[in-house]
Chain A
Amino acid sequence: GESVGLHLPTLSVQEGDNSIINCAYSNSASDYFIWYKQESGKGPQFIIDIRSNMDKRQGQRVTVLLNKTVKHLSLQIAATQPGDSAVYFCAENPQYNFNKFYFGSGTKLNVKP
C-alpha cells in the first residue's frame, strides 16, 4: 500500500516502551475529540475518544489526555508493539458543526523491534 506519512513528524520508539503522541488543536469551541490510527493503504481506525468535560480517558493500552487551557491533546500508548506502527491523527469536532471533524496533520510512529 501507499504511505500516508511521507512528510510527517516521526516518533521512533523501542518495542515495549511507552509512546506519547501530541496534538495541538485550533478551535477553543471544539468539544469532542477522536484519535485515529491509519496504516498504510487503509482508512483511519478509531482508537479512543474524549469529550471536553473530561481531561483523561483510558482504553486498552491507550490513554488520552486533554488540556483545554492550552488546546492540547495527547495519546499515550503503553508497551508499544510493532503492530502500533502507523500514522496517528487527532480529529476535533467543533460543537457547532455537529459531526464534522477537522484532522491534524498526523504523526508517524515507528516501533523498532
Chain B
Amino acid sequence: ETGVTQSPTHLIKTRGQQVTLRCSSQSGHNTVSWYQQALGQGPQFIFQYYREEENGRGNFPPRFSGLQFPNYSSELNVNALELDDSALYLCASSYGQGSYEQYFGPGTRLTVT
C-alpha cells in the first residue's frame, strides 16, 4: 500500500451534475497529480498541484478544476458532467517539482449516466 487514499471508492452521477473527488497524499509528499483512466487505456494527466498552486495542466477543459490544501490533500472537481467523464480517477503524490517517483492511490470509479 502506498499511503495515498482516495474517496469515495465508487460514485454514480447523472449527466450535467457536479462531482468532487478527494485525495490524501502520502506523508512527506507535497505534490499531487490527478489522472483520468478510461477503461482499457493508460492514465491521462489532468493537472498537478504543488504547495497549493496549480503546477501544470493536461488537455482537459476548464470544467475540471482542483484544489490543494495546506496539509497537501487535494480535491478534483468536475462540473457539467458528460457521459465521457466516466472513468477511474487516480491521484498520485510525490515530493517536489522535479522528476521523482510518484505513488498512486486506489482511484475513484466515476460512472456518469
Closest 10 CB pairs of A and B: A103-B42, A32-B99, A43-B104, A6-B40, A44-B104, A43-B106, A98-B97, A43-B107, A93-B99, A7-B40
Residues of B within 8 A of A (CB): 2, 4, 31, 33, 35, 37, 39-45, 48, 55-56, 58, 88, 90, 94, 96-107, 109
Q: Which residues of the other chain, B, contact A2 by a CB distance below 8 angstroms?
A: 39, 109
User: CA separation between A101 and B91, bound complex, in Å?
Assistant: 12
CB pair A100–B45 under 8 Å, yes or no, is yes
CB pair B102–A99 under 8 Å, yes or no, is yes
**A105 within 8 A of partner (CB):** yes
User: CA separation between A77 and B89, bound complex, in Å?
Assistant: 28
Additional 9 contacts, C-beta under 8 A, given A2-B109, A99-B98: A3-B40, A7-B40, A32-B99, A34-B101, A43-B106, A44-B90, A49-B101, A101-B102, A103-B44
User: CA separation between A77 and B88, bound complex, in Å?
Assistant: 27
Q: Which residues of the other chain, B, contact A31 by a CB distance below 8 angstroms?
A: 99
User: CA separation between A8 and B39, bound complex, in Å?
Assistant: 11
